[in-house]
Structure 1
Amino acid sequence: MATLEKLEWKREVEKLDKTELLLHAAKILNSTLELQELLDIILDLTCRVADSEVSLLLLKHRKSNNLHILTCKGEKKELPLRLGEGLIGWVAEHLVPVISNQPQADPRILKDLEIHLGTIGRSVLAVPILRRGKFLGVLEAINKKEDSGFADADRENLLILAEQVAVALDNSFLYRRVKEESLKKEVLLEIDRKLSSSLELEEVLEVILNSIRKIVDCDAAGIFLINKKTQEVERIEVVGYDLAVEADLNLKVGQGLVGFVAKTGEAMIVPDVRQDSRYVNARLETLSEIVAPIKLAGEVIGAFNLESDQLNAFDEEDLAQLKVFAHQAAISIERARLHRTAMEQKKTSQELSIARQIQLSFLPRKNPTVPGLDIAGTNIPSEQVGGDYYDFIPIIEHQTGLVIGDVSGKGVPAALIMASFRASLLAEIRNNYAIRTILRKVNRLLFESMERDNFVTAIYGVLDSAKKVFTFSNAGHNPPFLLRHKGEVEFLQQGGLALGILVDSSYQEKTITLKSGDLIVFYTDGVTEALNQEKQEFGQGRLIEVMKRGRSLPAGELLQAILEEVHEFSDGNRSDDITVVVVKCL
C-alpha cells in the first residue's frame, strides 16, 4: 500500500463516527492482503473503535510458543510470553473477552510487561480474535481516553471489529502462504536451471546452499559429505561460521549432531542445542539447529545443516523443505539428470498443484440444506486448472447467498485473482449492501488490483427460502437458465459488465419469484464450450434439453446427468474446468 493510499484511508477513517467506522471496517481491512500493512490498519482501528490511548495486537508465533505483541506506536516486540501469562495471555488461553478497569489490582496483569511496553494501564479491554473456531490472536485496548474506563458497549464494539479482523487476517495468511509456496517452487526451479549448466560439485552445492537461505531463515548453514575412506564428516560448503573454529566442523561419523544424523540417516530438529549433549559447539551464537541426511539410493552420503541464533527457530515445515534440498544435493553429487523439458513440466505441475489447492480451499465441502429448495453444486478441474469458483454463503435466516464465477486465465495467477475476488465479495456481503452495490464495490477493488487484461465473470444472488424469491445480478457471466414448471425457459442475464474491466461499472439486480417445479441451472463456459471430435461446442441448446429431460430428477441427479452428457459429448476431453450448480424449487 503506497504512502498516499495510507493517508487517504486514514483521512477517510477520521471522518467516520464509531458506528460508521464499524460498518466500513471490513472494507478498510480488506484494502490490502499484505500482512504488515494490515497490522498497521488493525492497530489504528482498535484505538479508534475502543477510544483508547494505546492498542496491542497479539499474534502467536507459528513455530515457537512465543507471542508477537505489536503496539500502535508501530513497534514490533517478540516477548517470551506464553498462553495464560498476563491479561492478554489469559484471554489467549481462555478465549473470552475481559474488561479490567482496575488493572493495578488485577493479578493477571504483568508489571514487567507494562514496563517493557512503556505504558502503565489505567484500564484494559481485551478480546480474542477467532476464525471458524481457530484462535488467531488478541486485540487489546489500553487506557480509555475517558477516565470512566471501558464499558460493555466498548467490549461489544471491539468484538465486532475482532470478527472482521479475523476474516482479514485469514485472507492475509492465505495470501502469504501462497506467496511463500510460489517462492519455494521458483527457488527449486532456479536450482534445477543452474544445476543443468554445471558439472562442478562445489559450485552445485554453493547454488543449493545460497538458495535454501532464501526460504528458510537461518544464521549459519552447511552441506557436509562423508569421506568413505576416513569415515569423517567433512565440510564441503558452509556460510555463517567463524573461520577460527571451522576445523571443528570435521567430525567422525556419529560425532556431533551432524555426525549422528550421518550415522542414523534420520533427520532431527533441536530446539535448544544447550540441552543436547551431542552438540559440538563450533559456533558460539547457535541456540537451535536442524539437520537432514543426504541420501542416494538409500545410502547416507552426507548431511544438510542449518543453525539459528534463536530458540525454537525451526519446525516440521522447515524440515520438509530441508529434506527436499538434501535430496537435490544427492542427485547433484552424482550429476543432475534432469533436462529442460522435464524442468518445464515440473514447474507447470507445481504451479497447477498450488492453484488447485487454492481452488479446493474455497469450494464448499457439501451442498446446503435449504427448506423448500433442492440445491447441488460441483466443480470438476481440468488438467490446466482454471479459475472457476462457486459457493453457498449463509446470510441470515431463510437467506442463502449463491455465487458462481470464472476468472480469466489459468494456474496460479487465476487462483490468486480468485482469492482476491472471494475475499472482496465476502467482505462486502458482510456489510449487508444491496447486491448491485456489492458487485460495484468488488468491481472497483478488482480493477485496482488486477492487470488490465484480467477480469472475472460472476453471478451473485440471494435465495430467500421463505418468500421463494431469487434476487441476482449477472456480471458478464454465462446466463443461467430458468426452466419454469410450465416449460418456458428464461435467461438470467440482467446485471452488467464482467468485473475488473472498467473502474466505474454499475450493475442492475433483478428479483424473480420461484414456484414449485421451477429449475435454475448455473454453469461456467467449460460446459457449453466443451468440444467434440468435430470441434463442435456442446452449446446452450444441448444443456437446456438435458434440463428438460431431467426436470423431474433431484438436483444432485440432474447435475450428474449434465456432467455425463458433457463427458460423452466431448469423449472425456476437457480443456477447462466444469462448474455446475442446480437449484430446484420443491
Structure 2
Amino acid sequence: MATAISGEPVPVSLLVIDPNGHRARVALNDFPFKIGRQADNHFVLRDSRSSRNHAQIVREDGGYVVEDTNSRHGVYVNGAKVARHTLKNHDRIEFGFSDSYQLHFSTESPEAAKMLEQFPGAEQMAKFEGIAGAPGPASSLAKLRAVLEVARALEASLSTNEVLTSVVGAALSITGAERGFLLLRKGDGLDMVVARDRHGSVLAENDLRVPRSLIHRALRQRRELLSMNFDPLESQGAGAERSIADLELRSVVCVPLVKIRTGEERETTIMSAENDTLGVLYLDSRAGSQDLSSGNRELIQTLALEASTILENARLLTEQRASVKLEEELTIARQIQQGLLPRELPSTGWFRANGSSLPTHQVGGDYFDVAPIDGDNWAVVVADVSGKGVSSALLASLLQGAFLIVSDSGAAIGRRFERLNQFLAGRTQGEKYATVLYATLSRGGTLSYVNAAHCAPVLVHPDGRLEELETTGMPVGLIPEATWDVAEKTLLPGSKMVIYSDGVTEAHDQTGEFFGMSRLLEAISECAGESCEMMHGKILERLESFTGGAEQADDITLVVVEFHA
C-alpha cells in the first residue's frame, strides 16, 4: 500500500468507466465499500444484469480486498473470476459483462498524475525537485513545483478557497507576474474570490484598478472558449485612457474559467462562451516588458481548467450532499413504510396468510394488510397506487389507514368504497388513483370482496382447480360517481386465494419478456396442495428464477390466504 511521507495512507480511488465510456473518479472513504444495483450502495451499478448487492471492497492487513457478495454473474479482476482478491494499483474490476462497468483501482494521486501530464518532461524533472539553485521564478523546476503545489492542495484540502488560492499562486510562479486575481461571474458582474501578490500577501479588492466591466465585456466578446485577448487601454476607450495608463501595466494575462462537463469532454467544442463561462483568472505586472504568457499559455490554461474543475466539483459536492440527504430520508421513509406492513401473519387456526411487498424504488405505491375484524371474520386488502415514488407511497399509506379501521361486511363494503372514492377524487382530481382488492372471510367460509380494477385474484379449490375472480368496479379515486358491487363466494376447507399486484405478471427477464399470467397460473398449479406459506415462497422463487436479476419497473406484492374448517 502506498504511503505518504508522513506515514499516513494515501487516499485510494476507483477510476469508473461506465457502459457509455464516460469516466469519473470515485474516492474510497467508507469501508466496506459496497457495490451493486441497490440504491443504498456506495457505488450504484446502473445495469439491470448486476445484482442488488454485487461486491464490496474491504480493508485488510493494510491493503484492500474486493469480495464477491454472492452475486449472480460474479466478480472479475483483470479478466479472472474471483471470490476474494487483494487489489493492486491499476487492477481492473468487472461484474460479469464486458459491455458494463469497469472499475480501475488506484493508489496514485489522480490530481498530480493529471496535472503532470500537462507539463513536458515532468516525470524526469520530479526526481530533481529538491535541487537548489534553479534559475529564476519562471524556471522549469519552479513551474513544476507550482503544479505540484496545486496537486497537493487538491489532495489535502476540503476548502474550495484554499485550492483556488493555490491555483493563483501557481500562476504567479509560472508567469512571474506581480499580482493575481480570480473573479467569478455573478449575474452581470464579476465577484472577487482570490487576490494575491507574488509574495502570497492578500490584496484588497480595489487593488484591481482595471474596471471589472471591461474584463467582463472581453469575456463575453471572446471568440474562443479557452482563451481571450484583453488590453486595458484598448478596452477602456480614449475617454479614460489616461487613468488606465497611470497604472503603468506592462503586461496583462486573462484566462477564462469555463464549466467542466464531467465525463463529456467531446461536447466542449459546442459549449457557449457566454453561457458556460464561470469567471476569469487575471494576472498583471508593472515591472519589465516581457509577455507574461510567453511559453506558458498551455500551462496557464491547464491551471484555469483545474480551477474550473474545482468549482464544478464544489457544485457537484453540494448536489451530492443534497442527494445523500434525500436518499437517507427516502431510506427512512422506506423503513417506515415497510414497518406499516403486518409483522406477524396468522399461521395456525381456521384463517392463515402469508405475504410480502417489495418496492423497486426506495418507497413504493403497493401495500397489503391482513387484520382480524372480530373472532369470526378476517379482512385482507392489497392496493396498487398509480405512479411511483413518494406521492404514490403517501397515498398508499392513506389507503392503509382507511382500510385499517374498516369493520364493514357485505353490502356495507361497497358504500365504504364509494365514500373513500369521493374523498380521493375530490382531492387528487383523478391524477392519482388506486386499484384495490378488499375481501373479508368468515369462519363459515363466506368470502365477500370488492375488486376495484385490481388484478384478478386466483381462487385455488381443494381439488387443485383454479378460478379467477372477476372485477367488480373501477379504480378508486378516478371518477367521483363510481360505484362498486360486492361479490360473494363460499369456500371449502383447504381453499386458498392468491392476491397479487401487476408487478408480478409484468416482471420481466433480461430480454424484456414478461412473466405473464400463464406462468403465474402454472406456478400456482404446481404447488396447489401446499400451505399458504410454501405456496408464497415457491411462486417468488419461480419469479426470481425467471427474471434472472433484471431490474424491475414496478413493485411486486404477493399475498396468499388459506381457509380451514
Greater fraction of residues in helix: 1
Shared fold by TM > 0.5? Answer: no
TM-score category (smaller protein): 0.3 to 0.5
TM-score (norm 2): 0.42
TM-score (norm 1): 0.41
